[in-house]
Chains A and B, each alone.
Chain A
C-alpha cells in the first residue's frame, strides 16, 4: 500500500479502522435465506460493505461492523431482510 509523507487527514483502507462499529446498532438486519433471490441489491447498497457476497451469490451480514442503518432491508424486493430491535425477546 502506498503511504504519503504528509501531516494531514489521510486514512488508508484497513478493516475496522474505527473499531467494532457493530455495537452502534439499535436495529439488526435478519436475513431469511429461503426468501433470498440472489439479486444482490443489499450487497450493492450497503454503505459499510458489511453485506458479504459468497461465491454462489448468497449473502451474509457481518454483524461485527454492521451499524444497523436498514438500507439493505429497504432495498430488498422480496422482503428477505427485516429489521429487529437489538436484544428484543422473541
Chain B
C-alpha cells in the first residue's frame, strides 16, 4: 500500500533510491549529504536494500566504483556534496563519456575556503559541462519523484547518460516534509530492470576506454549532445507517465506558476524556486503581472521553452551561483537562449550565496525593482548594491 512518510530530504532520497533497487551503492559521507548515505546504510542493515554497499576512501573512488559497477550492466546510485562533487570531477566526465547511467544526488553546498556547509549552487553549476543531466528540486516530494524518474530517464536507450539530482543543503536536505511513497510493486513497474547499452562480460570480451582518434572522438561528443536533446523530449513524457500513475507533477524542464497574462516572468531554481511561489502570490495580489518559471533541468537547458516565455514577457533571473569573471550561470544561459530572437529585457540578480537566506520578501523586492524599471541591464548583487 502507498503511504505518507514524514522525513528529511536526505532520508526521502535514500528511500527513493532503495525502492529503485540499485545493485551497487558506493558512497563517501560529507555534510550535508551524510544522512542520505546513512539512510541507504540503514536500509542495508534492515535488509530492505539488497544491493552491495561499498564504503570507499574518497568521492573520486565512490564515482570510480559506480563506473566500474555500471560497466558490468547493473544499476548504481551514489550521493555527494560540494567538495566531494569537485573531487569526483574527472570521474564525472568519465561516467558521461562512457555513457553509463549512474544516478547521483548532489546536495548543493558552498565551496570553500571559507568553511561553510550551507546552500549554494556553485558546486553543481561548476560541473555543468561534464555531460550529466542536472535536475534542481524544490521539495522533498519532488526529490523522491525525480530520483525514481531519473533511473528511468538515465537508463533509457535513447539517453544512456548519468543523472545528477540536486537540492539545497539543509533547506531541503535536513527539513522534514510529508511525502507520498507509492507501493514497491508500482515502482517496480515504473522502473524496469536496466538494459545496458554495453557491458563488460567474460563471454564477450571488449576493451573500454582505449585510444580513440580525433574524428571518432568528435562523433562521441555529438552523440552525447543528441542524447541530451532526446532527454528534453523524454523528461516531459516520463513526468506525464508519473502523473498518470501517481497523480503528482512538478513540471517538465520548467515548472510554470501563474504565468498567464504575465508581463514579467521570474526564473529561479531549487529552494529559491519554491520560495518564489509565495512571492508571486503576493506580487499578483498587489497588481504586479509577474509569473514564475522554475528551472528544473539545467542540463539539458530548456532554451526553446525560455524563448517562448521571452516572446511574451520580460525576464527576471535569480542565481544562487556566480561564474566569477562573467555572471550568474542561469542569467547567462537565459540570455544565450533568446539572443537575436526577441527584444525581451533580462534582469539578473545574484542572491543567497554562502547559504544566505532568500525569503519571499527578498524575491518580491528584486521583482519590484526590475518591474519598476530600476534594475540595470547588468547583474545586481542583491543585498550588496542597495537592493
Q: Do A and B originate from a single complex?
A: yes
Q: Residues on A close to B: CB < 8 A?
A: 1-2, 4-13, 18
In contact, B197 and A9 (Cβ under 8 angstroms): no
Least CB distance from B213 to A in Å reads 10
A residues less than 8 Å from B219 (CB atoms) = 7
Q: If A1-B204, A2-B204 touch, does A9 touch B209 (CB 8 Å cutoff)?
A: yes
Considering residues A4, A7, A12, A13, which has the most beta carbons from chain B within 10 angstroms of its beta carbon? A7
A12→B208 CA distance, assembly (Å): 9
Q: Which residues of B contact A2 (CB under 8 A)?
A: 204
- In the complex, whether B122 has a CB less than 8 A from a CB of chain A is no
Q: In the assembled complex, how far is the CB of residue B205 from the closest CB belonging to chain A, in whole angstroms?
A: 6
Count of A-B contacts judged by CB separation below 8 Å: 44
User: Of A2, A10, A11, A12, which is in contact with the most chain B CB atoms at under 10 Å from its CB?
Assistant: A10
Q: A1-B204, A13-B206 are in contact. Are A6 and B211 (CB under 8 A)?
A: no
Return B100 CB to nearest CB of chain A, in Å.
Answer: 9
| Interface size, chain B (Cβ < 8 Å) | 19
Pick the contact of B223 from A7, A10, A12, A18 — CB < 8 Å? A7
Q: Which of B182-218 contact A (CB under 8 A)?
A: 197-198, 204-212
Q: How far apart are the CA atoms of A28 and B248 in the complex, in Å?
A: 69
* B205 surroundings in chain A (CB, below 8 A): 13
Are the CB atoms of A8 and B98 closer together than 8 Å?
yes
Docked pose: A10 CA to B100 CA in angstroms: 13
From B220, which residue of chain A is reached at the shortest CB distance? A7
A1→B212 CA distance, assembly (Å): 21
Interchain nearest-CB distance for B101 vs A (Å): 12
Q: How far is the CA of A2 from the CA of B222 in the complex (A)?
A: 24
Given A11-B206, A13-B206, A6:B212 Cβ within 8 A: no
Q: List, in ascending order, chain B residues with CB within 8 A of A4's CB.
A: 197-198, 206
Apart from A1-B204, A11-B206, A12-B206, 4 more pairs, CB < 8 Å: A6-B160, A7-B219, A8-B97, A11-B208
Cross-chain pairs A/B with CB under 8 angstroms, 21 sampled: A1-B204, A2-B204, A6-B160, A6-B198, A7-B220, A7-B223, A8-B97, A8-B98, A8-B220, A9-B97, A9-B209, A9-B210, A10-B206, A10-B207, A11-B206, A11-B207, A11-B208, A11-B210, A12-B206, A12-B207, A18-B211
